[in-house]
Structure formats: C-alpha cells, structure tokens
Amino acid sequence: MHTKLVFKNNTNIPFHNKIDQIKACIQSIHRHVTFKLVTLTCDDMGYKTPNFTTSGIFRLHGLVQLHHQLKPWCVILKIIKPDTAEKDDSDHHNYWRREALVFESGVLRNLPDSICAPECYLLEEQQDGTIWMWLEHVTGEYAYSVEQFSFIARQLGRFNGAYLKGITVLPDHKWICRSWLKSWTTASRMYAPNMEAYVSRLSSENKQRTWIWYQKILQNIDSILESLQQLPRVLAHQDLSQMNMLLVKNEASESQLVLIDWQFMSISGIGEDLGKLFGVNMSLGIIPPDHYIRFQTSIYDAYLAGLRDIGWQGDAELVRYGFCLSTALRSVWEVPQLFSILAQLEDDPQNTDLQEKLNHLDCIVTIHKEMAMEADSLQYQHALA
C-alpha cells in the first residue's frame, strides 16, 4: 500500500525542495539500505547565541520504513553565510567558510582517538551565497560538574599531545587559522565599548587600578601574542563552550568527547584551548564564581595528565603559560564590558540584573589579573633561564 509522506515544516525554510538531499542523508545514516521516508518534521533549533556567520541551525527528523519496521532518523542542518569583509579572509579567526572546508577536507576523520566529531553527510553551496551543511545529529550530555570538565580537559590534553608526539600530523591547510588569539583580540578591541571618558572621571581606586592593568595589557599586546606563537603547536578547537562539547556513551558505556562547531579551528600554542575552555565557560556562567579556583586547578591538572598519558614529557611551565595567558587575554573583551555596566548602573542604580552582571564580571576579571601575573612570572623565569 502506498503511504503518503507526512510532512510538517515548523520553519520558514522551503524544505519541500530538499527531499532528495534529506533522503541522501538518511541513506548515509542507514548505510544505504533501501528505505521509505514516512514522516518528516523540520524544526528551528532556536540557538540563542549564533555566530555572526551562522544563518540558522535546524533539526530535521522523522521515521523511515526499513525492513517492514519504522525507524527514527535525525539530521542537523547548519547554514553558514558571508558576513563582513574581514570574515572573508582565511586568516581571520571567524573566516566564514572555514567549517565547511573543515568537513570537505576530511580533517575530522583523522583526529586522535580522544576526540570525536560529527559526520557531514552533504555540503551544498546555494545561489544566495550560503552554504548548507547537513550533519550527524549527536545525542549526549553537557558538562556541568568539575569532574565532567576535568574529563574533557584530559581528553583535550591527549588530543593536543598526539600532535606534539607526532602520533597525528598537524594539517597544513591554509584556511586553518594560525594566529587565532591575535585575530580575536583585534576584533574584540574593535567592537568593545570605548570607556576612556567614563574611566577618567571614576573615583574608585580599585577600578582605576583595573583600568591601568588593562591598558598595560593593550600596550604590550603584540609581544604577549608573539610569546604565545613560540609555544609548541597543536591543533585546537578554540570554541569550547558548554554547548559545543557533548559527553556521549559508547557501546561499552564509556564516555566519549564529541566536539561540534569547528568554525574556529586553529593551529595554536599548547594550553590555549584549555584557556578557552576555562574562560568562555566562566563568561557564560556555566562555571560558578565560587568554584573558579577549584575548576582552574582541576582542569589544568587533568589537561597535563592527558599530555603525559600520550607520552609528552615537555616543560609543564609552557603548558601553564599558554593556559594562563590565553585565559587572561579574554580581559580585552571583558574589562570594557565591566566598565560599560558600571556606567549603566550610574543611570539605573536599582537594576539588579546589571548589578549581578557586574559582580560576575568582577570575579572573572580578578581571575584574569591573577593568571596574567602568573604568566608574567613564568615568562620572566624562562627569560632568566
């Protein structure tokens, strides 16, 4: 008996024109076994903080008839788009085509065993200039606890260590960013609020000291970034926010780390990816302020253990330097935000949301300052050696 496809589109994307592509993805999922598409539902995932180069992320799912049984299927469609002219430069940290090129190149099929990535079933360049990436839907758990973050950090250490030991060869594609933090800090300074006039009339000595420290960072930014370029090089993800890290159980019920969203792929210094892991999840509020030190200690120890697991016996101070400095450099964005909120509170002193954000940023910047001081000390010691 002929069964008509039940199709429900909850988006404004004309998916009725993409049935052949959807079927091609399902063929990949079910290893090219003959099937019949029975139901198709298209949902906008409503991702709240998309990249500037992300047009949308959609979940397509339903049922297929396979060997006289109904089986579920699911595909993620991520649409990327051009943005500003700077993001059309492959040296830019947010080069808009990068993730499509990552999947097209097959780089993710050659990752060390400690890291997994979703499969890309299909890449399509559209007439409107966007690129549609039809991706594997990965089901997993987000990290919250210090134990989960430490597991991730250890896998990250093994991942990075495989390149240091030559177990896996660093890819050399030109579109992989070579100076990720230089590009990111440059863009952050460009788009951060200008708080010079406000700070000049502040009476708080504590806040003035924070601004002076921040200005010193900016004055020395070129040499700071150059020092990171001297660290041992590894392949890095550079966008390790909670939603991009999935803990997935394998067939043996062991946890595996699956990383999604490879738009920021870079060749970076040892410890930089760990700094991103720590820094961005503080910023997002995933790591609570009263646990900053506990997380900092635990994930660093786990990352170093992962490097040792893989056989890298290099200088741990290089690891610590990369970790501390890459975390501290987030102040290039966070400090102007802190002073912007201070200024807003002058006009709206009873705003509890703003006060909460200010307290949060105050705690983060304190960590940045402490880690910058530690990085300075480590660099000074190595200069004397």
Neighbouring CB atoms inside 10 A of 349's CB total: 9
- Tens-level pLDDT at each residue, the chain (385 residues): 456 899 999 999 999 999 999 999 999 998 877 889 999 999 999 876 667 899 999 999 999 998 889 999 999 999 999 999 999 999 999 999 999 999 999 999 999 999 999 999 999 999 999 999 999 999 999 999 999 999 999 999 999 999 999 999 999 999 999 999 999 999 999 999 999 999 988 888 889 999 999 999 999 999 999 999 999 999 999 999 999 999 998 877 788 999 999 999 999 999 999 999 999 999 999 999 999 999 999 999 999 999 999 999 999 999 999 999 999 999 999 999 999 999 999 999 999 999 999 999 999 999 999 999 999 999 867 654 4
DSSP secondary structure code for residue 122 in this structure? E
Cβ-count burial 354-372 (b if 16+ within 10 Å, e if not): beebbebbbebbebbbbbb
CB within 8 Å of 20: residues ≥ 6 apart: none
User: Structure pTM?
Assistant: 0.94
Kind plus residue range of the DSSP H or E element containing 80: strand 69-80
* pLDDT at residue 31, as a whole number: 82
Task: Measure CA of the first residue to CA of the last residue in the chain; give whole Å.
Answer: 80
Q: Are 95 and 266 in contact (CB under 8 A)?
A: no
Query: Beta partners for 384?
Result: none
* pLDDT at residue 2, as a whole number: 52
DSSP alpha helices (H): ranges in 248-315?
A: 272-283, 292-309
* pLDDT at residue 1, as a whole number: 44
Domains of the chain: 6-136 (no CATH), 146-384 (3.90.1200)
Q: Are 132 and 123 in contact (CB under 8 A)?
A: yes
* pLDDT at residue 380, as a whole number: 66
Measure the CA–CA gap between 63 and 37, rounded to whole angstroms: 7
* pLDDT at residue 254, as a whole number: 85
* pLDDT at residue 90, as a whole number: 96
* pLDDT at residue 253, as a whole number: 76
Sheet of strand 255-259: strand arrangement: 115-116, 255-259, 245-249
